[in-house]
Amino acid sequence: MNGAQHILDAFHRHSISTVFGYPGGCIMPLYDALVDDVGVEHVLCRHEQACALAADGYARASGKLGVCIATSGPGATNLITGVANAHRDSIPMLVITGQVPSGLIGTDAFQETDVLGMTLGIVKHSYLVDDADSLPAIMEEAMELAQSGRPGPVWIDIPKDLLLADVSDARFPRSEPREISFPDLAEALTMLRAARKPILYSGGGISLAHAEDRFRTFAESAALPAVVTLKGIGNPGKHNPYNLGMLGMHGSRAANKAVDECDLLLVIGARLDDRATGSLDGFAPNAKMIHIDADAAEINKLRPTELAIRGDLNDILETLTNALQDKPLDIGDWQKQCRTWYTTGGFHAADNEEPLAPITGPAFVRQLSRIAPDDTVIACDVGQHQMWVAQHYDFDHPRHHLTSGGLGTMGFGLPAAIGAQFADRNSTVINVTGDGSFMMNAQELATIRRYNLPVKLIVMDNQCLGMVRQQQELFYGNRESQINLDDNPDFVAMARAFDIPALHISRTDQIRRGIETILAYNGPMLLHVAISREENVWPIVKPGASNREMIDETRRTSKKEHVA
């Protein structure tokens, strides 16, 4: 068995059935081995960045390890954005690249780049294989590392000669299961019982720990008013009456107000990102904090915490749930106050009742949320549409909302949707994108067509980079700079060129029919939605300001039309 065959063998042993990749010179031995391997489905994307982002989407939607493969040099450098995206959002990913033959490393050989050196800051760990016999142990360790603790991408760079070299049938060490002592939760319960205004603050760590069900049970039975980060959307479930929605820069007034007033923050699986907290000086100024997280380096990183807890999140949540069921918290006044804030300051944008009116982003997303099946996976891109989805789509599970939270990668949505569709061929997967983001990985329409994936594409087209335009309007004296995209291609014709049918809508009375048409179609379909160029995401907190200083539509400086 050579190195390439061993990699495929390791995939089999770890039940990895789908990988995303693009061949090239130095990775050719692996592609040669794939010819004889029928157990691994290789998805050929049309750009290495899309391979990494598709592997990311696959991992987010399935909870499994995402795998991407590329050749040396430009293949590896094209992966970098996708791998950085996975790193920032702690997505379990295995990256395999070919490298120039061992003897040519350091000679500026054709398609040589120092992959190990240039990727140090965007991986959980990385390897440059220097001995074929070390490959088995490296493969085992890499797959374990990528998925354990706080997950993340692990990159293995393998010289071409070692892919071809015989790998001895070495016994590789199995990693010992880690023993984690169960934390004492008595102090946490004491703090929760002493609090008069506690808030449950959850993030992406819930689904990373596969603790979605236990979290939901805890949130419902504890009846704690709850806020979520962008990656935590869906954690409390759509029917939790105490869910105040997303906090932060584009969070709800209710969520930011409740955090501002609370006296205890119970933070679970979140890292207090600046987009969520705003200026830390003004963040939850009266609150003590309990921080539960898998990563010790997140404790006290940005804000001192009174109590830090590490351990198996499922066990912790079960213990807390049982304790609070035995003796519920006495926070009736606070619950009532938070509900009032939610009624007046939640995301309740009214639908536009005027049938011929232009389509607004919030109204479209609310209709989509009502019409799409409950288990629909929405893969967003980055920009205004991403925030409208976060604000107005009613998610019932965090794995239904795929979004580039940490890195904010335009071009994420389409390949992520491809990955999600491979994770479950029968699920409804919709890529909600903008005209700017769509063009960043539009070549992947060819991948959708090739594999006949029934991915639905919704392009919310405002003919500009809307989020940048909005910030230029609000924070740069309305001086628009390099945001105009009014020379976009005809997206409907473009989709059809890839043999993907497409529809165009522009009026409010066309929303329902447009959404129902693409959902009913048996195959991929694109819906082009023309929206106003001048529409903004409200509310907004100026970058660097406190979440108390939310700006709403009444502060708009533009003279142009207002939207609902």
Partner 1 sequence: MKPQSQSSTPSYKISCRMSQEAAALERLCQVVRIRGFRIATMAVESAGEHLDITLTLEGTRPIAMLQSQLEKLHTVAEVALGQVSGVRVQTA
127 binds partner 1 (CB under 8 A): yes
Of the residues 51, 80, 84, 128, which one makes contact with partner 1 according to CB under 8 A = 128
Q: Which is nearer to partner 1, 145 or 211 (CB)?
A: 145
Q: Which is nearer to partner 1, 64 or 125 (CB)?
A: 125
Of the residues 15, 35, 36, 117, which one makes contact with partner 1 according to CB under 8 A = 117
As measured in angstroms, the least distance from the Cβ of 146 to partner 1 is: 11
Q: What is the DSSP letter of 182?
A: P
Catalytic residue among 467, 494, 525, 550: 467
Of the residues 121, 373, 477, 544, which one makes contact with partner 1 according to CB under 8 A = 121
Query: Where do the H-state alpha helices sit in 101-134?
Result: 115-118
Q: Which is nearer to partner 1, 299 or 338 (CB)?
A: 299
Q: Which is nearer to partner 1, 109 or 446 (CB)?
A: 109
Of residues 285-344, those binding partner 1 (CB under 8 A): 295-297, 299-301
Q: How many CB atoms lie within 10 A of CB 48?
A: 26
Q: Which is nearer to partner 1, 244 or 299 (CB)?
A: 299
Q: Which is nearer to partner 1, 121 or 544 (CB)?
A: 121
Q: Which is nearer to partner 1, 117 or 177 (CB)?
A: 117
Q: Which is nearer to partner 1, 9 or 140 (CB)?
A: 140
Residues whose CB falls within 8 Å of the CB of residue 187, separated by 6 or more in sequence, listed in order:
307
DSSP E strand boundaries for 250-292: 264-268, 288-292
Q: In the 3-class helix/strand/coil scheme, how is 19-67 assigned residue by residue?
A: EEECCCHHHHHHHHHHHCCCCCEEEECCCHHHHHHHHHHHHHHHCCCEE
CA atoms within 13 A on the CB side of 452: 3
Of residues 135-164, those binding partner 1 (CB under 8 A): 145
Distance CA 60, CA 230 (A): 14
Query: Where do the H-state alpha helices sit in 393-465?
Result: 413-423, 435-438, 445-450
H or E element, residue 527: strand 525-530
271 binds partner 1 (CB under 8 A): no
Of residues 343-372, those binding partner 1 (CB under 8 A): none
As measured in angstroms, the least distance from the Cβ of 125 to partner 1 is: 4
Of the residues 30, 52, 91, 116, which one makes contact with partner 1 according to CB under 8 A = 116
* Active site (annotated) includes residue 111: yes
CB 93 within 8 A of CB 86: yes
* Active site (annotated) includes residue 48: yes
Distance CA 526, CA 528 (A): 6
Using a 10 angstrom Cβ sphere, with 0-12 exposed, 13-18 middle and 19 or more buried, the burial of residue 263 is middle
* Active site (annotated) includes residue 525: no
Residues whose CB falls within 8 Å of the CB of residue 460, separated by 6 or more in sequence, listed in order:
361, 364, 384, 385, 388, 432, 433, 434, 435, 529, 531
- Map residue 380 onto helix, strand or coil: strand
As measured in angstroms, the least distance from the Cβ of 81 to partner 1 is: 18
Residue 403 structure tokens = 């979004």
Catalytic residue among 41, 111, 306, 443: 111
**Cβ density class 8-22: b for 16+ within 10 Å, e for less:** bbbbeebebebbbbb
Catalytic residue among 110, 482, 516, 561: 110
Catalytic residue among 124, 160, 231, 257: 160
Binding mask 38-57 for partner 1 (x = CB under 8 A): --------------------
Could you tell me which stretch among 28-36, 125-133, 166-174, 251-259 binds partner 1 (CB under 8 A)?
125-133
549 binds partner 1 (CB under 8 A): no
As measured in angstroms, the least distance from the Cβ of 201 to partner 1 is: 21
Could you tell me which stretch among 25-33, 117-125, 158-166, 320-328 binds partner 1 (CB under 8 A)?
117-125
As measured in angstroms, the least distance from the Cβ of 121 to partner 1 is: 6
Nearest partner of 349 among 538, 105, 135, 107, judged by Cα: 538
80 binds partner 1 (CB under 8 A): no
- Map residue 4 onto helix, strand or coil: helix
126 binds partner 1 (CB under 8 A): yes
131 binds partner 1 (CB under 8 A): no
85 to 66, 153, 316, 459, 476: CA distances (angstroms): 13, 9, 29, 22, 28
Q: Which is nearer to partner 1, 65 or 378 (CB)?
A: 65
125 binds partner 1 (CB under 8 A): yes
Could you tell me which stretch among 15-23, 118-126, 440-448, 500-508 binds partner 1 (CB under 8 A)?
118-126
**DSSP annotation string for 345-376:** HSS-PPPP--TTSBB-HHHHHHHHHHHS-TT-
120 binds partner 1 (CB under 8 A): yes
Q: What is the DSSP letter of 408?
A: -
Distance CA 177, CA 312 (A): 13
Could you tell me which stretch among 86-94, 115-123, 169-177, 248-256 binds partner 1 (CB under 8 A)?
115-123
Q: Which is nearer to partner 1, 310 or 392 (CB)?
A: 310
* Active site (annotated) includes residue 110: yes
Q: Which residues are catalytic?
A: 48, 110-111, 160, 467
Q: Which residues bind partner 1 (CB under 8 A)?
A: 116-117, 120-121, 124-128, 130, 145, 295-297, 299-301
